[in-house]
Structure 1
Amino acid sequence: MAGGRDLRALFSTNDRSVQADQAFTNRSSQWETAAAALTQHLHHVGAPSFDAEDLEAPRNHVLVFHGVGGIGKTTLSRMLEAALADAGRRPSQWGEPGWPADRILPVRIDLARSAGTDFEQIVLTIRAALTRIGRPLPAFDLALRRYWEANHPGEPLEEYLRRGGLGSRFGQTLPQQMQSALADVAQALMLPGTIGSAVGQVTGALIGALRERRQTVRALAGCTRLADLLEAEPDLDALSFYPHLLAWELGRLPEGKKVVPVILLDTFEDIGDRTRRDLERLIQRTVWLMPNAFWVITGRSRLQWADHALQGQLDYTGLAAWPGLGHTARPAARTLAPSNAERQVLIGDFSPEDCDDYLARRLTRDGQPLISEPVRQVITARSHGLPLHLDLSVARFLELSRSGRTPQPGDFDHDFPALVARTLTDLTPDERHVLRSVSLLDAFDVPLAARAAGLAHEGPAQRLTERPFVREDPFGLWPFHLHGLIRSAVRNADDTTDDRWSENDWQQAAHRAFTTLGEQHQNATGPDRLLLIACLRQGLRLARDHRLDLGWLTPAAWTYVSDSVWEPLAPPDTDTAPGLITAADALVELLSALARRQHEHRAHTVTRLTTVIDSGLLPAELHGMALYYRAKAYRDIGRGQESRCGYQQVADSGSRLAPAARRGLAQAARLAGDFPTALAAAQTLGWEGRHQRVLGDLYWVQGQPDLAAAAYLEGRLEAEQHAKSGEAAHNQALRALAVAFLDPGQADDELELAHQLLAGLDLRATTINTAIAALIRDAGTSTVDDRARALRTELEVAGLTSMTPTLELACSFHQAVLADQDALAATIARLRAQTGDGAYAYYTDIAHFMAGLPLPAGRTPPQWLDGEDNTRARWRTLVTARQDVIHNQ
């Protein structure tokens, strides 16, 4: 639906074939919210118990739409007025209202500073709109006439209405209705007709008649506070109480004339600020005293009327007075009838579909969109759904078109200074300072915002969190974050404001934020993985973007890798970074490579880590981390010699990962079949070298899964004592694999525990170990072959080729149990090809042992811990025991 002609766009081009319309994009959820709230209000005021003169009842007749500048609040306000006034102007997407059209009387009042609206004009606008009822409202009209003559002597009301635009908007009926009311009262009081227009004499006589309860004025005597208002000094403060008379007049209208005013107050943020509430107090008083009207307020911020702290600044405060205006963390847009907790609605951003629709209809030629689809896609992505950005982009499109060239998508990868100006316009200097500071952060809380801004007090940060461009996630570690487009504009657009920051200001703010994050991490009581990850993500971005020293990031990085959980860490835009320039760049790439290796081929991990190592940017201890994990990746892709060289380099350095590197060397000895050397090394590793896991890996290949399972259990318990959830899960998965050879029933329990420990962890290899354990548990059943084929594909995609021989060994066990000699021969052939470099070569021997087959001649045997015959006998016994289990089922 179009919302009128866009004059600015029309006057930006000489091309008369361009159609520039103010497109209105669907806001169905807001309409449904308003319609439901208005329906509730109509039921409330229509009830026999409703009393318009009740000054104590809680008020729930206000609906607030708030949101960032440029989100479309004014457009929504105008469309609500139009839809309520004329069903034909209601957008087709909006549903039918559930009330008679003639019962609703909408009137919209723009409170923007540019409109110059004062309190007098607000009251007169409401009264002028009520002239549509077609009858005087004598109680109010008499009070207003007295006020006007006292405060505007010699100025005809007709002239004021004409000059303020109210005459053309509502006609000049109001002066006539006021004069008629005055004459009627004079006649009822039997005053001389010649003084029917002398408001002072009429007022005095009426007050006396009301005090004496004369029958001649019984129609007005029902308004119990009329005499008090007429006796009061007719100043601006008294004027703010006169709306009570309007409410009374509306309440006594006959059934055929009853209407409910819907008063839309737009740009509410412009009536003052949080320290000067004079106009707000008058408006709030008007709202309170007209409970039978329905009020729709649009502005940038939530109304604070439910805040008890404003007592004394406003007349009516607190949740008891305004039960619908209390702050809640509920989602803003609702499609159901709003409850008391949902009368303040945050206007959300446009969806991508709405953005594209808006841009396609905004500028057209011969009915076709002038802005091409690729350009619309870029604008939509950059806008984060903010309508103001769309408007500014349309203006830029026309500006570029005037230069004689066709605008391209790259022309709109652009931030607008106007967004900064609109955002900062009603913030205090301290709030602007905090806003710029937190634009450096993905998320924040009040203490973090205050410290990042270098403020000794938190008040400005607290006030900033109440602004609509600050979004809240009550379940987040840091609950607040800036609207995406506002954050981008504040950080990247050319800031032309008087208090704009220099590059040095930005650098200092980044350092403050970085230091504060480090303090939060270091001051945590006990292990806090969630805080660690959050601090690392924000700290890495700050250090990378502002070339800060690593500082607390170094110990935090060690804490991150020590648990082997591997949550994603890389801040946004890492893939588009121009290479490694600083130590922070290198650390971002290092930790990103370690986390991503759970989801990409390990050969790619080797390449990324080699880039980090070759850059020479990291300090020695972090350089050793890169070397160690590259050695692990080399092992995973089957490059044993490079892996051993890397492990040896780290072990010789004596660094923090030296025990882990010695474990890698022990495992390398095991892979080569040098089991005595691996056993001797394992007994020197201690907890730091994960000695129990190394022993378990050694025992089960000897055909002693019972000893392996016991070692893995000890390893899991040690890991739990050290709060290392990743290591505990890894040991449990391997324990399940060992137990699966012995007892399928117990393996079920062990696998269930392994899955519980893996929940929430990102450990791909460990998860695949549980799948292999499940195959061993199910050996001899019909489901094994298909699952094994799927696992082969998964290992190939992941680049975990070092695990493939273990999978084939599990298949050998299955085939030996079934005595399927042909399938076993094919598996042994695959094993022989996979272990041709010497690593895991003894797996082919184990496959022969399982089936009771002789070893091929000329083969060099591994160094079994207690000899080949004992090892052969144990593996064969495991197979025959499983055959007995299957036979007895």
Structure 2
Amino acid sequence: MTDLRALFSSNDPIDASEAFTNRQRQWELVATALAEHLRHTSAGFDPTDLEAPRNHLIVFHGVGGVGKTTLVRKLEAALGGTRPAQWGEQVWGGHTILPVRIDLSRSAGTTFEDVVLTIRAALATAVARPLPAFDIALRRYWEAQHPGDPLDTYLERGGLVSRFGKALPQQTQSALSDIAQTLLLPGTVGSAVGQVTGALAGALRERRQTVRALAACARLAPLLETEPSLEALSFYPHLLAFELHRLPDDKKITPVILLDTFEDIADRHRDLERLLQRLVWLLPNCFFVISGRSRLQWADPALHGQLDHTGPAAWPGLAATPGPVPSPRRGTPGGRQHLIGDLSPEDCDDHLARRLVKDGRPLISPAIRAVITARSHGLPLHLDLAASRFLEIRRTREPQPADFDHTFPALLARALSDLTADERHVLRSVSLLDAFDIDLATRAAGLTHQAPVRRLTERPIVYENPYALWPYHLHGAIRSALTEADDHTDDRWTPADWHQAATRALAALGDQWVANVSLTPSRMLLVACLRQGLRLARDHRLTGLGWLIDAAYAYTDDSVWEPLTPPTTSASHLGLDTAADALAELLTAIARRQHEHRQRTADRLTTVLDSGLLPDELTEMALYYRAKAHKDLSQNDAARAGMQAVADIGGRLAPKARRGLANLARLAGDFPTALAAVPTLGWEGRHHRVLGDIRWSHADTAAAVAAFEAGRAEAEQHGAAGERAMMQVRLALAVSFADPVRADDELALAHQLLDGLDQRSNTLLAQVVALIKDAGTDGVTDRAQTLHTDIDNAGLPFLHRFVELALAFQHAVRGEDEDLAAVIDRLRALTATGDFAYFTDITHFMAGLPLPEPSTTRWTTSEDDVRSSWRGLVQARQEVLRAGN
């Protein structure tokens, strides 16, 4: 079909077509359901059975602009014999199919009378014979309700004559005359509908032989005797079903009635919906395709009393039945309700490429198509609006990709058009949230009752994933339209309204997290609340960080480091302007250090500190993690200064800072000072970790393993998955020198615990452990060189010393003196600042070599004891290798 708006928008000869993107899956659903219906109606089917369940329909629902009407039109054409090539051919086994599309939109002004007349007019053309039981009743109704307005005049005025011809008035008149003749009524009486129908009803009551063909319809006489009202008309489809069933085989036909825009007739009183549902129920030998924004609720028992037939027993195909795979949208409906999904990026690009064509080539460039596709979130309406904008811009200049990096107010108008005032209020409120549940949405909207939220979640603009933390989220295109497009509606929000809503949403998120912490703390909820809360606070420039401060500490406590950075709402949002900006950058820098060079981390944290935007409670966090970055960079003077500053503040991170100072003392070779600090650290200062690091450095494997096992158990008690993984890596490190077999098992567990935690330094340290475990075998040296490269890329130079220590163990075990001497030289260079200088001592101890000069290391036991222990580990490995050979 030609797009007339596009055709008349330019002087250029552009081929502007309403491109249809393949909906083959929907066609297959219709074809399968229709085939099942045909099998059912061909095998002992009784259309007058008013109690049998109904499954002769299929429903397509989806957000406005997703392409439902286009699909219905294509289905009409396909059922009439004109199918898109990709849909292939469908054989109906000799059945004649009559598609009848009816537009129920408000703009079409379709009444229930129009629906009934459209179906009958379509049959008049296709069957080409009267359907007397129905036609007599219809003629009686018409003359009673529309006196002086002939049926043919009404049909012509409503466009049905141009669509289906003039056969219907002729056939109803013919039916009237035939009945009058059958009953031997005088000619003048035969022209009076009331007298004919009265006589016919009497003949049916008396079971006269002359009307035996119609006597099979047991309910015809009561219908003819009932006042011909609109209510009575809604029962006449039963007569139509009767007539269709008794058509001769050569005239058999199956109408497929497509009711489009069904949402426009479903108001709160459901008056027209009740009539239409009755029509569908009474025409079980027709097949119905219904499209609308919301799923059909007829299987909901709660509608009992509003509609005639409700509940899953009446409409088994419409009942909501959860499937084995979670649906990304609202409700996984039963077998006959299907959500029209968004288009894939590939389909979007294909649609745009075929939408506007000049000289056989796509008019919209690939770069522009890519931007439109990304912005559309798969919504066809967005694609068509973008195509119109393309033509508008093209009148004056060449369109650019940046011209389409926005959404359209028309999407907002479509989304709001059929929502109540309360629902629109909730919709704007939840547009601030990435995802939500009923309680979160209610509080974000500032409501005291949940009903508007529940109604909104039934709308197709809200998707549902029942397995998600918060099950509901808005369609991406609608959310963008709400938050980015100009809102010209009468109840549009002011900037103050948006700010208040953001404040409510932030508070609601905090309340959910705080309530969870007091019950069963959930890391998933913490991270999710932080992601949404940081974005709200930053994008809406909310003052006061409130619960975000406590959540930030809870996030860093466990060393898991899930990504937190929320996307900016504007590409122009640069720099640090608010405390929320500073907090977002602080947590991002801390988490990203697992993927960035530590110097980059230190620089980012310095920028945050220099901004002066952080509250005092968070300043110590920036100082502490900058000090940790300095330690990893072997800038230990700066690290000590930072740790001391945090310890002096005496805040939440003081215990960790004291641990940091103890570790720095250990790195400088001052083990007694580090050991003396252990009793003061406690769980918060990770006392077992500090003790274990001291013990393995002395080759005291048993004591080190005991400390790390105690630390792992303590971490498990506190639910600290990150700390548990760190303890396991260090346990494997301590064991790797002494027991390679056990180390293999401990290392496997370490990798298991590290999985998903994003701890880069510990992951690399686990690779060092693997080298030590395999010391004495071939290939260790080559693997060490690869590991050096990975450490350089990570910006974790302190780990180079661990790799060299592993190589020293390898060469000492194998008696490779020259290689060992090279390792000692490299270690001496790496420890020239004094930190990790004791690693050089250890390499000498491993090989039984004298120290070239007195050591500055202060051990907790005698140097001879440490020397003996390290030499003993080398000799024990040599024995293991000899035994293996």
* 1:80 is the counterpart of 2:72: no
Contact 2:732 2:743 in 1 (8 A): yes
* 1:151 is the counterpart of 2:145: yes
Partner of 1:262: helix, strand, or coil? Answer: strand
Partner of 1:342: helix, strand, or coil? Answer: coil
Q: Choose from 758, 763, 766 the match for 2:754.
A: 758
CA shift at 1:5, angstroms? 0.8
Partner of 2:318: helix, strand, or coil? Answer: coil
Residues 47 and 815 of structure 1: is their aligned pair in 2 closer, same or farther, counting only changes over 3 Å? farther
In the other structure, the counterpart of 1:848 is 844
CA shift at 1:744, angstroms? 2.1
In the other structure, the counterpart of 2:693 is 697
Partner of 1:261: helix, strand, or coil? Answer: strand
Moved more, 240-249 or 99-108: 99-108
* 1:516 is the counterpart of 2:511: no
In the other structure, the counterpart of 2:548 is 553
Residues 385 and 332 of structure 1: is their aligned pair in 2 closer, same or farther, counting only changes over 3 Å? farther
In the other structure, the counterpart of 2:41 is 45
Partner of 2:858: helix, strand, or coil? Answer: coil
In the other structure, the counterpart of 1:885 is 880
CA shift at 1:401, angstroms? 2.1
Contact 1:469 1:486 in 2 (8 A): yes
What is the CA deviation profile of residues 390-430 of structure 1, one whole-angstrom value per residue up to 9, with x for unaligned ones? 1111221122222x211111111122111111110100000
CA shift at 1:527, angstroms? 1.4
Rounded Cα–Cα distance in structure 1 between residues aligned with 2:737 and 2:406: 62
CA shift at 1:598, angstroms? 1.5
Contact 2:539 2:568 in 1 (8 A): no
In the other structure, the counterpart of 1:139 is 133
In the other structure, the counterpart of 1:392 is 385
In the other structure, the counterpart of 1:99 is 92
Aligned Cα RMSD in Å?
2.0
Contact 1:333 1:345 in 2 (8 A): no
* 1:829 is the counterpart of 2:828: no
Q: Choose from 265, 279, 284 the match for 2:277.
A: 284
Contact 2:565 2:588 in 1 (8 A): yes
Rounded Cα–Cα distance in structure 2 between residues aligned with 1:332 and 1:203: 57
What is the CA deviation profile of residues 52-101 of structure 1, one whole-angstrom value per residue up to 9, with x for unaligned ones? 11111111122111111111111011001011102xx3111213324247
Contact 1:726 1:761 in 2 (8 A): yes
Partner of 1:471: helix, strand, or coil? Answer: strand
Rounded Cα–Cα distance in structure 1 between residues aligned with 2:827 and 2:332: 68
In the other structure, the counterpart of 2:298 is 305
Aligned length: 876
Rounded Cα–Cα distance in structure 1 between residues aligned with 2:724 and 2:159: 76
- Deviation >6 Å, runs of 4+: 331-334
* 1:502 is the counterpart of 2:499: no
Rounded Cα–Cα distance in structure 2 between residues aligned with 1:43 and 1:579: 67
Residues 504 and 328 of structure 1: is their aligned pair in 2 closer, same or farther, counting only changes over 3 Å? farther
Q: Choose from 479, 482, 486 the match for 1:487.
A: 479
In the alignment, structure 2 segments of 5+ residues that lack a partner are none
CA shift at 1:458, angstroms? 0.7
Contact 1:146 1:234 in 2 (8 A): yes
What is the CA deviation profile of residues 808-829 of structure 1, one whole-angstrom value per residue up to 9, with x for unaligned ones? 2122222322223343333333
In the alignment, structure 1 segments of 5+ residues that lack a partner are none
The 5 A counterparts of 1:837-876 are 837-855=833-851, 857-858=852-853, 860-876=855-871
The 5 A counterparts of 1:581-600 are 581-600=577-596
Q: Choose from 282, 285, 295 the match for 2:288.
A: 295
CA shift at 1:785, angstroms? 3.6
Taking structure 2 as the reference length, the TM-score comes to 0.96
In the other structure, the counterpart of 1:29 is 25
CA shift at 1:178, angstroms? 1.6
Residues 859 and 393 of structure 1: is their aligned pair in 2 closer, same or farther, counting only changes over 3 Å? farther
In the other structure, the counterpart of 1:794 is 790
Q: Choose from 437, 448, 463 the match for 2:440.
A: 448
Partner of 2:478: helix, strand, or coil? Answer: helix
Partner of 2:207: helix, strand, or coil? Answer: coil
Contact 1:23 1:358 in 2 (8 A): yes
Residues 835 and 283 of structure 1: is their aligned pair in 2 closer, same or farther, counting only changes over 3 Å? same
In the other structure, the counterpart of 1:471 is 463
In the other structure, the counterpart of 1:735 is 731
What is the CA deviation profile of residues 851-874 of structure 1, one whole-angstrom value per residue up to 9, with x for unaligned ones? 22333x246442222222221111
Q: Choose from 675, 678, 684 the match for 1:688.
A: 684
CA shift at 1:606, angstroms? 1.1
Residues 75 and 506 of structure 1: is their aligned pair in 2 closer, same or farther, counting only changes over 3 Å? same
* 1:350 is the counterpart of 2:343: yes
What is the CA deviation profile of residues 626-677 of structure 1, one whole-angstrom value per residue up to 9, with x for unaligned ones? 0000111111122222111111111111111111111111111111111111
In the other structure, the counterpart of 2:2 is 5
CA shift at 1:617, angstroms? 0.6
Contact 1:359 1:371 in 2 (8 A): yes
Rounded Cα–Cα distance in structure 2 between residues aligned with 1:195 and 1:332: 66
Q: Choose from 656, 662, 665 the match for 1:660.
A: 656
CA shift at 1:328, angstroms? 4.5
Rounded Cα–Cα distance in structure 2 between residues aligned with 1:177 and 1:754: 84
Q: Choose from 55, 61, 67 the match for 1:60.
A: 55
* 1:233 is the counterpart of 2:227: yes
Rounded Cα–Cα distance in structure 2 between residues aligned with 1:798 and 1:386: 41
* 1:163 is the counterpart of 2:153: no
* 1:646 is the counterpart of 2:632: no
Taking structure 1 as the reference length, the TM-score comes to 0.96
* 1:636 is the counterpart of 2:654: no
CA shift at 1:835, angstroms? 2.1
Contact 1:437 1:449 in 2 (8 A): yes
Rounded Cα–Cα distance in structure 1 between residues aligned with 2:587 and 2:548: 11
What is the CA deviation profile of residues 677-728 of structure 1, one whole-angstrom value per residue up to 9, with x for unaligned ones? 1111223222221111001111111111221111111111122222222111
In the other structure, the counterpart of 1:183 is 177
Rounded Cα–Cα distance in structure 1 between residues aligned with 2:855 and 2:463: 68
Q: Choose from 604, 608, 612 the match for 2:604.
A: 608
Residues 332 and 215 of structure 1: is their aligned pair in 2 closer, same or farther, counting only changes over 3 Å? farther
Give the letter aligned to residue 531 of structure 1.
L
Moved more, 506-515 or 355-364: 355-364
Residues 827 and 252 of structure 1: is their aligned pair in 2 closer, same or farther, counting only changes over 3 Å? farther
Rounded Cα–Cα distance in structure 2 between residues aligned with 1:276 and 1:135: 38
In the other structure, the counterpart of 1:679 is 675
Partner of 1:659: helix, strand, or coil? Answer: helix
In the other structure, the counterpart of 1:538 is 532
Contact 1:795 1:801 in 2 (8 A): yes
CA shift at 1:450, angstroms? 1.3
Contact 1:586 1:617 in 2 (8 A): yes
CA shift at 1:304, angstroms? 1.1
CA shift at 1:757, angstroms? 2.7
Q: Choose from 369, 377, 380 the match for 2:373.
A: 380
Rounded Cα–Cα distance in structure 2 between residues aligned with 1:582 and 1:544: 7
CA shift at 1:437, angstroms? 0.5
Q: Percent same amino acid among aligned pairs?
A: 66
Give the letter aligned to residue 139 of structure 1.
A
Rounded Cα–Cα distance in structure 2 between residues aligned with 1:340 and 1:14: 48
Contact 1:601 1:799 in 2 (8 A): yes
Give the letter aligned to residue 494 of structure 1.
D
* 1:425 is the counterpart of 2:417: yes
Rounded Cα–Cα distance in structure 1 between residues aligned with 2:527 and 2:282: 53
Q: Choose from 315, 321, 326 the match for 1:322.
A: 315
Partner of 2:821: helix, strand, or coil? Answer: helix
Rounded Cα–Cα distance in structure 2 between residues aligned with 1:822 and 1:90: 80
Give the letter aligned to residue 10 of structure 2.
T
Rounded Cα–Cα distance in structure 1 between residues aligned with 2:554 and 2:63: 40
In the other structure, the counterpart of 2:614 is 618
Give the letter aligned to residue 130 of structure 2.
P
Contact 1:601 1:800 in 2 (8 A): yes
CA shift at 1:740, angstroms? 1.7
Rounded Cα–Cα distance in structure 2 between residues aligned with 1:157 and 1:648: 95
Contact 1:332 1:348 in 2 (8 A): no
Rounded Cα–Cα distance in structure 1 between residues aligned with 2:274 and 2:347: 38
Contact 2:95 2:254 in 1 (8 A): no
Rounded Cα–Cα distance in structure 2 between residues aligned with 1:446 and 1:246: 46
Rounded Cα–Cα distance in structure 1 between residues aligned with 2:682 and 2:848: 37
